[in-house]
Amino acid sequence: MNFKRTSLAVAVSAFVLPALSVTAQAETSFIANSFYDQQHPHSRYGYIEWAEMVEELSAGELAPEVYTGTVLLAPRANLQGIQDNIVQVAHHAAIYTPSEMPVANAVQELGFNYADPLVSILAVTDFSMNNPTQLAEWEDLGIVYLGAYSTPPYVMFCREPVRNLEELRGKRIRTAGSTVSNWVEEAGGTPVNVPSSEMYSGLDRGSLDCATNAANDLIDRSLWEVAEHTTLLPTGMYWSGPQWGFNEGFWAGLNDEERDVFKQATAQAMTRMVVQFIAAAESAIEEAKEHGNNVYEPEDDLMASVEAFREKALSGVYDKARDEYGVEDPEALIDDFLATIDKWQTLLEGVDRTDEEALAQLAMDEIYSKLPADYGIY
């Protein structure tokens, strides 16, 4: 779907950025793609509003054409779409292409252990734009990474109540990523790896008993209609792969002012996206209750199973990065990521987590303004 400009929800004038000269060059049109539907935070704030910011900050010199949903590319096809210049920028979830993105997936193995999406989105962006091993992966793939996404903690939506280990046994559960899949198997369920776009149909026809995803999908994807039982069991967050992955040739063909526009718009859209995503997840639970859905806290044995597996996952993450993903120096990679998480936990202390402009400025100050002038020019 091609979206025209609408009024911005956040004033782009919050940042001081010289507007591009209207007479400096011809308009640069490009295609941006998010496989989520238009109301999902990754599309609404990350692409539709982001595109408006890009056009506003560039005084119309950068002209985005935004597509959402799967009309242009299937979820697994976005990486290839970026590389082939079918799209010039797109969201791509690395868990769909583990062989092409082993480093990003090795780091994603830690997602089961965290539950703060604001820390993770900023830390993952910082790490992914500075760690030499991760940067080498982007370069090898021919994409330029400009910013992260992060989900709130995934919870379980089920056709029947799943409140304890006994009720989980034998259930076919949609999962994303190997760590949560391994936990499901250990807990007695059967993991099913399908895209999030297939959750509704799987639950509706009974090929899935449960699905794990962020709570906003109860409303955004109408899962309350096919899964009447939600268990607030934290089964990890997801951040692997770029929210904004640019075709390397397109990025290299921009001038410095244009690249600065993208950095500014991305800092603002990224922080707005995560603040609104957290709010949407919280409100979706309450709205689902109003529709008559049942929402449960996990019983002790189910929560204990997750906590025990977190400890196991953390202790084994170095070996997994080496043996499963082929990372040559997993200690350096993982330790750098853990240090970056610690850095952002400290930076966010005392910061108003709902102040989108302050968070965006923090991202500019600590990440984007520190990038080298030739960032992404391979």
- The pLDDT value given to residue 25: 52
- Give the phi and the psi of residue 245 in degrees, each rounded to 5: -110, 120
Are the beta carbons of 223 and 217 closer than 8 angstroms?
yes
- The pLDDT value given to residue 196: 85
- The pLDDT value given to residue 315: 87
- The pLDDT value given to residue 24: 42
Q: Is the dihedral of CA 217, 222, 224, 227 positive or negative?
A: negative
pLDDT, tens digit, for every residue of 303-340?
Answer: 999 999 998 888 899 999 999 999 999 999 999 999 99
Mean pLDDT for all residues in the chain: 92
pLDDT, tens digit, for every residue of 230-252?
Answer: 999 999 899 999 999 999 999 99
Show the low-confidence residues of the chain (pLDDT under 50). 1-24
Q: State the pTM of this model.
A: 0.85
SS (H, E, C) the chain: CCCCCCCCCCCHHHCCCCCCCCCCCCCEEEEEEECCCCCCHHHHHHHHHHHHHHHHHCCCCEEEEEEECCCCCCHHHHHHHHHCCCCCEECCCHHHCCCCCHHHHHHHHHHHHCCCHHHHHHHHHHHHCCCHHHHHHHHHHCEEECCCCCCCCCEEEECCCCCCHHHHCCCEEECCCHHHHHHHHHHCCEEECCCHHHHHHHHHHCCCCEEEECCCHHHHCCHHHCCCEEECCCCCCCCCCCCCEEEHHHHHCCCHHHHHHHHHHHHHHHHHHHHHHHHHHHHHHHHHHHCCCEEECCCHHHHHHHHHHHHHHHHHHHHHHHHCCCCCCHHHHHHHHHHHHHHHHHHCCCCCCCCHHHHHHHHHHHCHHHCCCCCCCC
